[in-house]
Amino acid sequence: MSLSIPQAPNAGLFKAGYQSYDAEDAAVLRNIDACRTIASTVQTSLGPYGRNKIVVNHLQKMILTSDAATILRELEVVHPAAKLLVMASQQQEAEIGDATNMVIVFAGELLKKAEELLRMGLKTSDIVQGYEKALDFALKALDDLEIDRVENTRSTEELSKALRTVISAKQNENEDFLAELVAEATLAVLPKNPVNFNVDNVRVVKILGGALEQSKVVKGMVFGREPEGSVKKATKAKVAVFTCAVDISQTETKGTVLLKNAKEMLDFTKGEENQIEAVIKELHDSGVRVVVAGSTVGELAMHYLNRHNILVIKILSKFELRRLCRVVDASPLARLGAPMPDEMGQVDVVETLEIGGDRVTVFRQENDATRTATLVLRGATQNHLDDVERAVDDGVNVIKAITKDARLVPGAGATEMQLIERITEYADKTPGLGQYVIRKFGEAFEVIPRTLAESAGLNATEVLSRLYSAHASQKDRKDKAKYWWCTGVDIDNNDGSGVLDAEEEGILDLLVSKQWAIKLATDSARTILSVDQIIVARQAGGPKPPGPNPNWDED
């Protein structure tokens, strides 16, 4: 009888180099651990007093931000389960553009509570089903917590009301100024039917120097460079947009020319000159007074464009070129020559302005319904400007969400505290093991007010006990106010209690962004809990990725 030698699991089934992690290795708990690490990384960045992170990416570029979506995008997470969380936050970014941090933090807390339940002896299937029931109830309860709505999407004041909280999470102390700026830029491009609002129509140009208060809105598109030639201004002009070089076309092969005398040398470039002059004259005769080049502009072409009084600007980004085509209503041309009438665009004013020490070119349509508005942001450092731009992006995305669902709920952790209250009540009425899971789902919401209190330097346990008692006592009062669930965390601790009335203070969150965040966080947590085995193939061959730079902190 031959001796059987125990082999590695799945030996001979997969190609050599596969790694397999199954339930015997406590795969679920290991996945939960990886996801909690990700959650704890971004948790400290939640809220107005959230800490910034410095991420030095693989190209040695430094990113300083408290925006969870940006941090996770630059970190390049490779763990398969943690990647699911990152995908959920990216989906939130794509759908709403805000509350990406809440998705990660809440999902991490749900997994932490699931780990406690697993150690108590519950099965993952029980937890998944319980979370599903609790999610349905939480979304219904959330609908009842509406305290306000944006009635008029064409009012700066109404839009600012919803934007203040979103922007203060990234740019605390500057939220009032930036909210008005974003509202003004949005109203400049808001179509007759607000549902058709396109976030791409609000652009941002960052100019170093000055203070944030010097930022302003310009109706039209702003480019951070001045025109190439001597013509710097044009009004009521026709525009031609070329994606090719404005120059003599180069042949693919090179030839050698033998010149015998001076006359031949003088005549040599005559043909080229005549050719380019004919093209520029053709442009001028068709009525074009502004040329936008997506590539190089030859010196000879520049000479004739100046002679014919045509303004020329180079825009090397194909995305910017596409947007400009939308603003001036032109078609980008891949050949040099006079455009057809329907290919030409129209612009009211093209002018060069000086902002700070930089000269910029503005394409502006004078009519009310301009197709693009640009926020010109000023600031001391590039990193600060990048962070302000992220806050502005969040604001513009939230306005897009408002056009679909304008309901508002109290912020400062008040909504989460009320959800804990209502979900716990629901758990008490639920029979069987499900009640433990539903109660833990409710408790997970505690992470939001706790993190807000901790990042503001308050005693989180004390603040939470005050919030619990406020929500419980007001619920039992006979003469309760219309909205009695608005008690939230006072991060500035004005009266020393650490709690405030979110409605009175105007701290309002968008209901639809909370809805999506809760939904995506729960779905990703349930997916991770349902995984019992991870099989990782060996990496494909190829050059090794560069290792970490040992001198990253040296200038």
The predicted-structure confidence for 454-486, as pLDDT tens digits, reads as follows: 888 888 888 888 888 877 776 655 445 566 667
As given in the structure block, the two tokens for residue 117 are 């339940």
Residues 293 and 318: their CA atoms lie apart, in Å, by: 10
For 99-147, write each residue's pLDDT tens digit. 888 888 888 888 888 888 888 888 888 888 888 888 888 888 888 888 8
* Percent above pLDDT 70 for the chain: 87
**Greater pLDDT, 467 or 535:** 467
The DSSP secondary structure of 180-242, one letter per residue, reads: HHHHHHHHHH--SSGGG--GGGEEEEEEEBS-GGG-EEEESEEESS--SSS---EEEEEEEEE
- The mean pLDDT value of the chain amounts to 79
Q: Are 97 and 394 in contact (CB under 8 A)?
A: yes
E-state strands within 69-158 = 148-149
Domains of the chain: 18-147+411-458+499-537 (1.10.560.10), 220-369 (3.50.7.10)
- Between the alpha carbon of residue 530 and those of residues 108, 122, 140, 435, 526, the distances in Å are 15, 13, 25, 20, 6
* DSSP H or E stretch at residue 361: strand 358-364
- Where b means 16+ CB within 10 Å and e means fewer, 95-114 reads bbbbbbbbbbbbbbbbbbbb
Question: pTM score, two decimals?
Answer: 0.79
Whole-number pLDDT of residue 1: 45
For 284-331, write each residue's pLDDT tens digit. 788 788 888 877 777 777 887 888 888 888 888 878 888 888 778 788
* Percent above pLDDT 90 for the chain: 0
For 165-188, write each residue's pLDDT tens digit. 888 887 777 878 888 888 888 888
